[in-house]
Structure 1
Amino acid sequence: MITIHDLHKRFRKTEAVAGLSLEVPEGQVTAFLGPNGAGKSTTIKCLLNLHQPDRGTITVLGGDSRKLGPAQFTQIGYVSENMELPLWMTVKQFLDYCRPLYPNWDAAFEKQLMGQFDLPTGTKLKDLSRGMRMKAALLSSLAYRPKLVVMDEPFSGLDPLVRDEFIRGLLELTGQEGWTVFVSSHDIEEVQRLADRVAIINRGKLALAETSDSLQARFRAVEVVLPDDGRAPVNLPEDWLHAEQAGRTLRFTASRFGNEEGLAAALREAMPGAAHHEVRAMSLREIFVALARAYRLEGK
């Protein structure tokens, strides 16, 4: 659905995107993550033809992103935390305005979404909470049944209840419609519920791209009780990240976990005499934080 090849984008002295290549498969939810300033929003604006790439190519819906026009935009839904809505309009007026712009607008689907999102049709957008305005924006981006839905920080500023309703509604609709969703967000817990795939960008380049299941399968939080002398070995494997010692306890993140037996053998080799160890699975948020710390250290 989206193919990005060697994308470069610079703003004066700042290189926002530096050779990014990424493929977004059709019919799946891809989470696009990265630290602040990594280039996420710039990439999204390039793929939607809001910015022109300095170098590289982006293919969206089979065509060059630089040639996206009205015909293509009727197949793309876009929701961003920075969307400017006509706040003086009521919800009904806003949808009445949007409806003629999209030949594929589905009035019955609009009605279904209106009920599902519990939007008050007669209320002006300016009088709605931020969460309800985001719901109105989402409805206006989905009612024409797009093939591709792009979201840039859609959960920003939403309270937990609205966020949960937003996520549940999007999950249900994505499953029903078979949409391709490309979502950038700092709300990792919410993204974890949505994502089939995870792509992480760092300093304008792709750091990793894989399924959520494979990413969570290869990361583990490990805690080891050291031998009586309490000394940890100096040269630990490179894939054991952020080793930190407190007393006789050593904690680290194993980033290439295969199985319990393999890790136990590696621990015996690295730390003979260690009393015992514990291993637990990590959430997507914990994995992202561990990787973000590693990226920061690499940049120093």
Structure 2
Amino acid sequence: MSALIELHDLRKKFRRTMAVDGLTLSVPEGAVTAFLGPNGAGKSTTIRSMLNLYRPDGGTATVLGCDSRKLGPQQFVNIGYVAESMELPLWMTVAQFLDYCRPLYPQWDTDFEKRLMQQFELPPKTKLRALSRGMRMKAALLSSLAYRPKLVVLDEPFSGLDPLVRDEFIRGLLELTEEEGWTVFVSSHDIEEVQRLADRIAIINRGRLALEEDAEALQARFRAVEVVMPDGAKAPPQVPSTWLHLEQAGRTVRFVDTRYTDGIALEKQIHQHLPEVITHSAHAMSLREIFVALARAYRLEGTVTGA
């Protein structure tokens, strides 16, 4: 599977702050890659650097086979970009906005545009300034999809949307992505929504890649574990590095196992390190729970060796 985005040792600095620090990442064609990270991790800076909105200070970013610093009209007609910070011509109606965008893209599909208008329930005669934030984001998405791009880049597209609009937005994007086979690169704080979209997960921390993995594989190897001990029993100070956030409250010990393979292997490991165990249980974790566990570990330790 070829990659539509290739980042190698990418660096971007603002004065004394290294926003992106040697980031290497590959985004495969035909997949939805979720780009996650704590606030200030460098997600938006990475996206802007790879789209030639910022000039990298080092390393390379290749998009659609072209160096990001040389991206031009030939590449941008194949890239759909929607960001929470983008400005729209609010004085235009939805129809006027689309009339303005249409001539810029030779492959603009008017039939597809009409279908998206109906699907997103956009009022063509209403000025953009009169629309809710959610409807404006839909208009921006329509203007970025109607020309059927090869690559769709979304930077916090769900920020500030109410739950109903967010659900409609996600459902529409899911259907279209499956139909069109788009490559989607999406950065978002709405982890639960991203979970419905993503085939792959990439997590950035302090400008560096902390994790890159198939979503199913990631969720398969994480478990929330609860162990019941006898009265007075204490968990040892040294436990496997793959156990995160071990905490004890009374008889109950809880931790996150980042290398879960099967129940038998976990049981052996628990008996080895917590030999006084009475019972234990392990539960699958949502992507949001996994992200929170990792973000907490990044904050406490800087790097998670084993995760």
- Shorter-chain TM range is over 0.9
Q: Which one of 74, 79, 83 corresponds to residue 76 of structure 1? A: 79
> Once superposed, what is the RMSD of the aligned Cα atoms?
0.8
- Structure 2 partner of 1:245: 248
Distance in 1 (CA, whole Å) between partners of 2:211 and 2:276 is 35
Amino acid corresponding to residue 29 of structure 1 in structure 2: V
TM-score where L is the length of structure 2: 0.97
Structure 1: stretches of 5+ with no match in the other structure: none
Find the counterpart in structure 2 of residue 24 from structure 1: 27
Aligned residues: 300
- Residue identity opposite 1:80 in structure 2: A
Q: Distance in 2 between matches of 1:179 and 1:298?
A: 37
Aligned to 2:167: 164
CA distance in 2, matches of 1:47, 1:149: 13
The question of 1:265 aligning with 2:268 is answered yes
**In 2, distance between residues paired with 1:234 and 1:130?**
50
Aligned mate of 1:192, from 192, 195, 207: 195
2:284 is matched with 281
Q: Structure 1: which 4+ aligned runs deviate by more than 4 Å?
A: none
The AA in structure 1 aligned to 2:246 is: A
Match of 2:132 among 117, 129, 153: 129
Find the counterpart in structure 2 of residue 42 from structure 1: 45
TM-score of the superposed pair, with normalisation by structure 1 = 0.99
Partner AA of 1:21 in structure 2:
T
1:1-150 equivalences under 5 Å are: 1-150=4-153
Shift of 1:120: 0.3
Alpha-carbon deviations, 1:190-236, whole Å to 9, x = none?
00000000000001000010100000001000000013323111111
Matches of 2:20 and 2:101, distance apart in 1? 33
Identity over aligned pairs, percent = 73
Structure 1 position 47, deviation (Å):
0.6
Aligned equivalents of 1:218 and 1:244: distance in 2? 20
**Which residue of the partner structure matches residue 208 of structure 2?**
205
Counterpart in 2 of 1:220? 223
Structure 2 unaligned segments of length 5 or more: list them: none
CA offsets 1:131-172 (integer angstroms, 9 cap, x no match): 000000000000000000000000000011100000000000
